[in-house]
């Protein structure tokens, strides 16, 4: 029997390591020598962590326990492991079990299932069979043709056909070529790549190995954020194991093909997600984009032919080679084949990772899998594509998630972030948040990006402070157009998207801020006003909790807020037991 504790970053953050230690100690004290404690990555249901799976001697999953803290381990050891009784109060509910059952998992098929630090687990799931097939039984052209048949498009954001990039690099003549994995995941609210690297690192290595064979590269590089220490650790373990097993190194599978991989830890610059900026960083230069052409397929890393795909793209490749391109193309829709992994975050009931077929409506992802909005609030919008994407309003929730439909809304599929917003979200402030991020992350090379985003941010900050003025909306639109047209790389070209989409769908909120000095979501602190109504009982709690003494009134008398002294902290409203304080 095995006790498997989910130990991705989300699980560890909620106490999974302490939970695993508690199981190890209690199992030892109980003398259950036939029971072992194991680890796995994130299964995707981050909102249920720490998750503990119990597997029987036959290898089958017996039960999944959720939100298991160290104090819960004793009950599971005593009643389940020793007594054979399911601890129902800790077991996953049928409703939460549907979170995973409604998904189609290709990229995430091993995450939360295998031990990512043990190559035997990956091989038992069919690992490296695809690489062996490609290298020993197929020509590079045949491998690329299989990827072409699959319809796989780059999952890093642009959705460019993978086979085309591979073929361009294959056709470039050079003695040295490079296969690069872009793991520089930097979108706020996005954690898809991190979870794959932590939960199934060998799938990415195998995908790179197959890609390296296809284009004729002998060296691979994984450019991963230094803020992902657990992902880096597990990648290093996986690479060492792959070398020991003969899956990386010289003369692989008895052929004359050689391929190895190294890791480059990036310093966290968002702009390095752009491929030419990433290459500059790899070469030890400041991460700044350059003009294309030449494209990396012709002149990339050290001016040699280079192919760059992201983590999710590579993780799809072994499945395609094992099952065939037609099987992959059968999932999804038309020009958007396969599945897509999304990180559900924000005002969502069930936050975590989901993998769904391309073409599924946004509504099905948010309400069918994600369980809808927290606290019974109304769904207002979803930000897709991170700072480079845009805002999709509730009225367009039936939009299909694919590379054709999403751009028509003004957003992009992007790498897969979905930040869900409810009725309490101010769309002006949301646009300000994302623009503040891109302004800080601009490399500064382009004037329009460096200065234009700063000027747009200044306008948005004024508006959220209640200092907006007539003409601000028109000026935002003018600046947005110039920034998009005058920027060299995707960061600047897409930076205005959150502003443009909120202006497109929520223009009235901008007008309320500017002309009526009112935030309809009651979110912008400078535009919020607290009032004590006639329902006040004079209990004095609000006055006692006010940190600046802005509330006056006697016992059993209606209190009054001095608006000139009020700092809009909301502590008075939180402390009132009679719902006598309103926020306007």
Per-residue tens of pLDDT for the chain, all 584 residues:
999 999 999 999 999 999 999 999 999 999 999 999 999 999 999 999 999 999 999 999 999 999 999 999 999 999 999 999 999 999 999 999 999 999 999 999 999 999 999 999 999 999 999 999 999 999 999 999 999 999 999 998 778 999 999 999 999 999 999 999 999 988 888 899 999 999 999 999 999 999 999 999 999 999 999 999 999 999 999 999 999 999 999 999 999 999 999 999 998 899 998 999 999 999 999 999 999 999 999 999 999 999 999 999 999 999 999 999 999 999 999 899 999 999 999 999 999 999 999 999 999 999 999 999 999 999 999 999 888 899 999 999 999 999 999 999 999 998 888 999 999 999 999 999 999 999 999 999 999 999 999 999 999 999 999 999 999 999 999 999 999 999 999 899 999 999 999 999 999 999 999 999 999 999 998 899 999 999 999 999 999 999 999 999 999 999 999 999 999 899 999 999 999 999 88
How far is residue 163's CA from residue 144's CA, in Å, rounded to a whole number?
6
Element (H, E) at 16: helix 16-30
- Residue 442: name the closest of 249, 276, 289, 242 by CA: 289
Q: Report the Cα 83 to chain-centroid distance in Å.
A: 40
Q: Provide the phi-psi class of 334: left if phi over 0, else alpha when psi is between -120 and 50, else beta.
A: left
Asked if 162 contacts 154 with a C-beta cutoff of 8 angstroms, the reply is: yes
Position 189 scores a pLDDT of 83
User: E strand or H helix at 201, and its extent?
Assistant: helix 201-215
What is the predicted pLDDT for the residue at 352?
Answer: 95
- pLDDT at residue 334, as a whole number: 83
Domains of the chain and any CATH numbers: 2-93 (3.40.30.10), 119-329 (3.40.50.11540), 333-422 (3.10.20.600), 427-515 (1.20.1440.230), 529-583 (3.30.70.20)
Cα distance between the two ends of the chain: 58
Tokens of 199: 């939960």
* pTM (2 d.p.): 0.93
Question: Are residues 477 and 500 in contact, defined by beta-carbon separation less than 8 angstroms?
Answer: yes
At 386 the pLDDT is: 86
**CA separation for the pair 35, 2 (Å, rounded):** 6
Give the pLDDT score at 177: 97
What pLDDT sits at residue 456?
97
Omega prior to 293 cis, within 30 of 0: yes
Q: Mind spelling out the 3-state secondary structure of 422-438?
A: ECCCCHHHHHHHHHHHH
Computed from CA positions of residues 179, 336, 123, 257, in that sequence, does the dihedral angle turn out positive or negative?
Answer: negative
């Amino acid at each position: 029997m095995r006790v498997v504790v989910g130990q991705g970053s989300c699980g560890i953050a909620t106490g999974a390591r302490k939970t695993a230690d508690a199981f190890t100690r209690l199992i030892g004290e109980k003398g259950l020598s036939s029971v072992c404690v194991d680890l796995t990555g994130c299964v995707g249901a981050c909102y249920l962590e720490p998750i503990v799976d119990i597997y029987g001697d036959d290898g089958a999953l017996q039960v999944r326990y959720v939100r298991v803290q160290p104090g819960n381990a004793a009950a599971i050891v005593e009643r389940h492991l020793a007594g054979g009784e399911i601890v129902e109060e800790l077991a996953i509910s049928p409703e939460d079990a549907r979170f995973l059952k409604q998904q189609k998992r290709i990229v995430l098929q091993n995450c939360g299932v295998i031990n990512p630090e043990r190559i035997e687990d990956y091989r038992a799931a069919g690992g490296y069979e695809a690489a062996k097939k490609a290298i020993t039984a197929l020509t590079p052209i045949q491998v690329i043709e299989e990827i072409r048949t699959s319809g796989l498009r780059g999952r890093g954001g642009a959705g460019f056909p993978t086979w085309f990039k591979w073929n361009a690099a294959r056709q470039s003549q050079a003695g040295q070529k490079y296969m690069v994995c872009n793991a520089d995941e930097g979108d706020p609210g996005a954690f898809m790549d991190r979870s794959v690297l932590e939960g199934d690192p060998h799938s990415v290595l195998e995908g790179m190995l197959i890609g390296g064979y296809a284009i004729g590269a002998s060296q691979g590089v994984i450019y991963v954020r230094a803020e992902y220490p657990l992902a880096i650790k597990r990648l290093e373990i996986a690479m060492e194991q792959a070398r020991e097993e003969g899956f990386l190194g010289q003369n692989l599978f008895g052929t004359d093909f050689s391929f190895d991989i190294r890791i480059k830890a990036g310093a966290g610059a968002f702009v390095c997600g752009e491929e030419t900026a990433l290459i500059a960083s790899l070469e030890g230069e400041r991460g700044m984009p350059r003009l294309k052409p030449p494209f990396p397929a012709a002149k990339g890393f050290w001016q040699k032919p280079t192919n760059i795909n992201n983590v999710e793209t590579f993780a799809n490749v072994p499945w395609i080679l094992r099952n065939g391109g037609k099987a992959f193309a059968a999932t999804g829709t038309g020009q958007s084949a396969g599945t897509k992994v999304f990180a559900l975050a924000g005002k969502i009931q069930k936050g975590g990772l989901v993998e769904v077929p391309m073409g599924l409506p946004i509504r099905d992802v948010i309400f069918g899998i994600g369980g809808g909005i927290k606290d019974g609030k109304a769904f207002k919008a979803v930000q897709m594509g991170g700072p480079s994407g845009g805002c999709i309003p509730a009225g367009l929730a039936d939009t299909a998630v694919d590379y054709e439909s999403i751009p028509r809304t003004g957003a992009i599929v992007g790498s897969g972030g979905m930040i869900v917003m409810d009725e309490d979200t101010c769309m002006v402030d949301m646009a300000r948040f994302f623009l503040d991020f891109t302004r800080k992350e601009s490399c500064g090379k382009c004037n329009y990006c460096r200065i234009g985003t700063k000027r747009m941010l200044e306008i948005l900050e004024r508006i959220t402070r209640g200092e907006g003025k007539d003409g601000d909306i028109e000026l935002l639109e003018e600046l947005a157009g110039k920034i998009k047209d005058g920027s060299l790389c995707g960061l600047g070209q897409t930076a205005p998207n959150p502003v443009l989409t909120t202006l497109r769908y929520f223009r009235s909120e901008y007008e309320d801020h500017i002309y009526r000095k009112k935030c309809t979501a009651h979110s912008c602190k400078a535009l919020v006003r607290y009032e004590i109504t006639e329902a006040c009982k004079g209990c004095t709690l609000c006055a006692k909790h006010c940190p600046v003494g802005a509330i006056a009134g006697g016992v059993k008398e209606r209190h009054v807020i001095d608006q000139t002294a009020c700092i809009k902290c909301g502590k008075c409203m939180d402390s009132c037991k009679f719902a006598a304080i309103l926020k306007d």
